Amino acid sequence: MISEVSGKHQPMKNESENLIRLLDLELTQKRTAWKRAATRHRTFRMIGIFSILIILAAIVLALFFLFSQANEERANARPSAASDKAGP
C-alpha cells in the first residue's frame, strides 16, 4: 500500500489523471476519425445511389423512345397495307 506520509500518493494521482487525459484525448481523436470516415462512406453511398437513379432514368427514357418509334412505325405500316388491298 502507498502511504500518504511518504509523499507518493500525490504523484500517483497525477499519473492517473494524466493517463485519463491521454486516453480521453485518444478517444476523442478516434471518434473524430470515425465521424470523418462515416461522412465519407455516406457521400460515396449517395453518389452511388444517385448514379444508379440517373442510369435508370436514362433506361426508362430510351425504352419510351424505342416504344414510341415502334408504335409510329406500326401505325404507318397499317394504312399502306390497306391501300394495297383496295387498289387491284
Per-residue pLDDT tens, the chain, 88 aa: give them: 444 555 566 777 788 899 999 999 999 999 999 999 999 999 999 999 999 999 999 999 999 999 998 888 888 877 655 555 555 5
2 touches 8 (CB < 8 A):
yes
Q: How distant, in Å, are the alpha carbons of 64, 72, 82 from that of 77?
A: 20, 9, 9
Q: Grid coordinates in use for 32? A: 473524430
Predicted TM-score (pTM) of this structure: 0.55
| Per-residue model confidence (pLDDT) at position 35 | 96
Give the span between the Cα atoms of 59 and 48, in whole angstroms: 17
| Per-residue model confidence (pLDDT) at position 1 | 43
Helix, strand, coil share of the chain (percent; to 5): 90, 0, 10
Residue with cell 494521482: 13
